[in-house]
């Protein structure tokens, strides 16, 4: 999951708000799936059309070993989500 919510919110509520990530090639033609090179160059996708919230404490979630995606992937994911929900419009 690409976490979008700030750390202070996550810690106070035990929730995170974010976008799921996958390596499913069925997302290749999806205009709302942001493609990037994952581990060993494997195609990975951030699904900007599927925002989710989850209780990270109950799930025992931990940061991914990557820690962060490349800044351009994060920016494109936020821009694509904004096309759907139009924050600030």
What are 7's strand-pairing partners? none
**Residues 69-88 pLDDT 10s:** 889 999 999 999 999 988 76
- Angle subtended at Cα 10 by Cα 7 and Cα 12, rounded to the nearest 5 degrees: 105
Q: How far apart are CA 81 and CA 63, in angstroms?
A: 22
**Residues 47-76 pLDDT 10s:** 999 999 999 989 888 887 777 888 999 999
CB atoms within 10 A of CB 61: 15
Q: Note the pTM of the prediction, 2 decimals.
A: 0.87
From its phi and psi, is residue 29 left (phi > 0), alpha (psi between -120 and 50) or beta?
Answer: alpha
Q: Do the Cβ atoms of 16 and 49 come closer than 8 Å?
A: no
Q: Across the chain, which distance is largest between two alpha carbons, in Å?
A: 39
Domain ranges of the chain: 2-85
Query: In this structure, which CATH number among 3.40.50.1820, 2.30.30.110, 3.30.479.30, 3.40.50.300 belongs to the domain 2-85?
Result: 2.30.30.110
């Amino acid at each position: 999951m690409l976490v979008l919510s700030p750390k202070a919110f996550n810690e106070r509520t035990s929730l995170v708000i974010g976008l799921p990530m996958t390596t499913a090639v069925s997302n290749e033609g999806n205009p709302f799936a942001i493609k990037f090179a994952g581990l060993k160059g494997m195609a990975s996708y951030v699904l900007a059309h599927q925002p989710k919230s989850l209780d990270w404490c109950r799930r025992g979630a931990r940061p991914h070993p990557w820690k962060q995606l490349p800044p351009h992937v994060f920016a494109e994911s936020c821009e694509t989500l904004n096309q759907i929900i139009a924050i600030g419009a």
